[in-house]
Amino acid sequence: MNRGIIKKLYKDAIIQVFGTDDLELDEYLLQAVKKDIHIADKAPGQWSPKSVLEIYCEGGIPNATDIFDPGWYGSAGEVTYNADKWAQVDEIVNLMLTVSHPGVKVYHEPYNNAVVNVGWC
């Protein structure tokens, strides 16, 4: 399996799940997916070189562990959990893999607050 395909699928899925469809609002996210998603054994951090990907969440890609409650800022709205959003990212990637590479599945796993690893199922 070409890990570059997995990288492209994660880029697209992250934009789909975390983006707003507004190029100006999504500028930080679009820049981050270009520079912060790495084939694991070539990643600068080498946090988990035996995984498929290392995704760095310090430059615009939301991490997989944060919780946001608008009430903390005096606003109304639902509490959101980044873990739920990352599960959606995995679902999109795996749906695309079902079509293009049957039997291949991946999943995300938070390494810490700043790194998400992607591994094979």
- SS3 category, 114: coil
pLDDT value of position 19:
95
**pLDDT score at 98:** 97
pLDDT in tens, 67-120: 999 999 999 999 999 999 999 999 999 999 999 999 999 999 999 999 999 999
Residue of higher predicted confidence among 71 and 1 = 71
Tokens of 36: 């912060």
What distance in Å separates the CA atoms of residue 114 and residue 89, rounded to the nearest whole number?
A: 17
Q: What is the pTM of this model?
A: 0.94
Q: What is the CA radius of gyration of the chain?
A: 15
30 pLDDT band (50/70/90 cuts)? very high
Residue 64 pLDDT > 90, yes or no?
yes
Per-residue model confidence (pLDDT) at position 1: 86
The partner residues of 112 in beta bridges, in order of sequence, read 115
Span 27-47, mean pLDDT? 98
Tokens of 116: 């998400």
Could you report the per-residue pLDDT of 45-54, keeping only the tens digit for each?
999 999 999 9
What's the mean pLDDT in 50-60? 97
Beta strands in the chain (DSSP E): 37-39, 53-56, 67-68, 80-81, 106-112, 115-120
SS (H, E, C) 32-53: HHHHCEEEHHHCCCCCCCCCCE
